[in-house]
Amino acid sequence: MSVLLEFAMFPTDKGESVSHYVSRLLKVIRDSGATYELTPMGTVIETETMDEALAMIKTCYDQLEPDCNRIYSSLKFDIRKGKPGRMKKKMQSIRDKIGEV
């Protein structure tokens, strides 16, 4: 199974710049060993199961909860059985179609 999760999570009570808080979440994701890609508007993660994806969200929330009074999060899932490695394969499929390396 392949679970693609695109999510953003950040505190809304810490001012205009929240990169200090977001970087804490990226460390959690990086240390998990999951395939991921940081984008300007969120992070895309690929896990093998829904439980792993949900655990990642919970762990990220747990990083912010102790010192943040309000946390915003948006989540999108794309779940497909039997197709691991989709994060890279989906992007390569588009690149192939537009003639990009």
Percent of residues, the chain, with pLDDT higher than 70: 99
Domain 2-98: assigned CATH number: 3.30.70.930
Domain boundaries, given as residue ranges, for the chain:
2-98
Task: Put residue 78 in one of left, alpha, beta given phi > 0 → left and psi -120 to 50 → alpha.
Answer: beta
Angle 50-64/19-32 helices, nearest 10 degrees? Answer: 140
45 close to 36: Cβ distance less than 8 angstroms: yes
Q: Chain-wide mean pLDDT for the chain?
A: 94
pLDDT digits (tens, 9 = 90+) for 55-96: 999 999 999 999 999 999 999 999 999 888 888 888 888 888
Is pTM beyond 0.85 here? yes
